Amino acid sequence: MSGATRLTVSQAAAALGISERTVRRRCENGKLKAELVSSESGATWSIPLASLGIAASAIQPAEAAVEAAAIHADEPPPATQQLARLENDIAQIKAYLAGQMSTRIQELEAENACLRAELAAQRPQPGRRSWLNLFSKKRL
């Protein structure tokens, strides 16, 4: 960084190899000497380079960060990749469930046919005397 003695939270996090939330927490706890300043997007921490205990040469310049981002620009962002994986999983689950439902419908249709056959076998045959024939209104 040429001549810059103060860093933003994101720059400090990248330089230290920790998360931005950890940098903010350390600033709030006083573990990092930082000053709360107002900016266009609200209050933010301004962290002196000397309080980090690292050399200015270890800080990645903004131009290098932009170049690194441009190298990976053709790759979809992680959220997009995760969404694509989830959509693929959902499609596989739907296909599995459709197959299971089809199999279960066939099983139920076969069971229904067996039950209908059993019911037909239990009905009284014409000409046979059964208790239904004995007590029907026709005979009384």
- pLDDT for 3 equals 45
Q: What are the φ/ψ torsions at residue 35 (nearest 5 degrees)?
A: -120, 135
Contact 51, 12 (CB under 8 A): no
Q: Does residue 135 or residue 31 have the better pLDDT?
A: 31
What is the four-CA torsion angle of 34, 40, 43, 46, rounded to 10 degrees?
Answer: 0
Alpha-carbon gap, residue 75 to 81, rounded angstroms: 9
Q: What percent of the chain has pLDDT over 90?
A: 12
> Domain 6-73: which topology?
Multidrug-efflux Transporter Regulator; Chain: A; Domain 2 (1.10.1660)
Which structure tokens are listed for 99? 């197959």
For residues 5 and 86, the model is more confident at 86
Where exactly are the structural domains of the chain? 6-73, 76-124
Model pTM score: 0.40
Alpha-carbon gap, residue 93 to 91, rounded angstroms: 5
Max avg pLDDT among 36-40, 92-96, 108-112 = 108-112
Strand order in the sheet with 35-39: 6-7, 42-48, 35-39
Phi first, then psi: what are they for 139, rounded to 5°? -80, -25
Distance CA 10, CA 42 (A): 15
Q: What is the total residue count of the chain?
A: 140
Q: Which residue has tokens 């960084």?
A: 1
Closest CA to 51 of 35, 36, 32, 37: 32
Res. 1 pLDDT band, cuts 50 70 90:
very low
- Distance (Å, rounded) from C-alpha 116 to C-alpha 112? 6
